[in-house]
Amino acid sequence: MSLLGDYWTMLGRVPERSKSRSDEAEVMHGRKRGRGLEVARLIEEMAGAKANHKWRNRRWGVLIVVNLLFTLSYWLDVQLVEGSLTASRFLGFHMADVYSSLLVALAQHHVPINLVIGSVTVLLLWGLIGGRAFCSWICPYHLLAELAEMLHARLAAAGLVVDHPLHRGTRVVMWLLFALLALVSGHTLFLTLNPVGILSRAVIYGPSLALLWVLLVIGFEIVYSRRAWCRYICPIGLTYGALGPFAPIRIEYKLEACAHEGECRKVCEVSHVLDMTIKGRSPHSHVDVGPDCTRCGLCVDICPTKSLDFKMKGLGDLL
């Protein structure tokens, strides 16, 4: 899929089957025909295998440590990290969430230089690490939503709840709506509702009544729509997703080994980025996962054939 096609898919378009495939991919797809029994056997073996959580555990560790750095820096007054995830200073360097900075500038009809410096710093950082990696490796709400998703899955398996997917294009509408509201009214409503900022401040400075809003969102995700905030509303993820294709760190799909059993898509928060893992879909033998990928590593952990792995451009697979 082309870069433009990846972006259109990130903005809400349903993934489309590639109209052309490389000769190498055609040969590989041909070898995979008539292997239904082999795939069924693999799924059966996976059911009894011990779960692998290598990348998930690494990610949770990084997320907890980063957020605790804010807390310890504040309570110990060491000024290592000041502020919160919305806007902060690390060793004196300004850092600011790009979308939040845009809203402040639109609301104030003025562009503070500190926000410019902070936004550029963050853009460079996530452009290097990989766009939406912020969502899964740093955002405290992502961890809470991931735990809520596990509860949702248990309730769904018991027939107590049913997931109600929304249109992914809703994120684009919300992105524009919050920005337009800031420009017209001067009020940054998103900063008030943003669970990322609410949780970050609660971890650092202590809980507030705003946590009730976070609990309401989590409850909605558990009983009605799985991962609704991250998938369909949060403009932060959409903003950082734009940096995804340019980052040297990404997840790569290898067609040759794939059994197309679909376990990766079941655990993926944004499963449309793994459309190439559907049998007959991959246009090439090696495909980089799209810009909406959060680099969470859940697909890497669960893939039984090691068809998905982290890759550093120019260096190969990461440990």
State residue 114's pLDDT score.
87
E strand or H helix that includes residue 151: helix 140-157
pLDDT tens digit string along 50-80?
778 999 999 999 999 999 999 999 998 887 8
**Environment class of residue 223 by beta-carbon count within 10 Å: exposed (0-12), middle (13-18) or buried (19+)?**
middle
List of E strands, the chain = 81-83, 87-90, 93-96, 249-254, 286-288, 308-312, 316-317
Task: Tell me if residue 316 falls in helix, strand or coil.
Answer: strand
Show Cβ contacts of residue 244 under 8 Å, excluding neighbours closer than 6 positions. 10, 130, 131, 132, 250, 290, 291, 292, 293
State residue 246's pLDDT score.
79
Which of 192, 197, 184, 193 lies closest to 107 in space, CA to CA? 184
Show Cβ contacts of residue 71 under 8 Å, excluding neighbours closer than 6 positions. 203, 204
Task: Tell me if residue 249 falls in helix, strand or coil.
Answer: strand
Prediction pTM value? 0.89
Task: Tell me if residue 226 falls in helix, strand or coil.
Answer: coil
State residue 11's pLDDT score.
82
Ordered per-residue pLDDT tens for the chain, 319 residues: 577 778 788 888 888 777 777 868 777 777 776 666 666 677 666 666 677 899 999 999 999 999 999 999 999 888 788 899 998 888 888 899 999 999 999 999 998 898 899 999 998 888 888 879 999 999 999 999 999 999 999 999 999 999 999 999 999 999 999 999 999 999 999 999 999 999 999 999 999 999 999 999 999 999 999 999 999 999 999 999 888 777 888 899 999 889 888 999 999 999 999 999 998 888 999 999 988 999 999 999 999 989 999 988 766 555 5
Domain locations along the chain: 3-10+21-50+248-317, 56-241
**Alpha-carbon distance 195 to 150, whole Å?**
19
State residue 317's pLDDT score.
58
State residue 158's pLDDT score.
95
Q: What residue type is 52 in one-letter code?
A: N
Q: What residue type is 184 in one-letter code?
A: V
Q: How far is CA 257 from CA 46, 254, 315, in A?
A: 16, 6, 21
Show Cβ contacts of residue 119 under 8 Å, excluding neighbours closer than 6 positions. 96, 97, 98, 101, 102
Structure tokens at 282: 């991959």
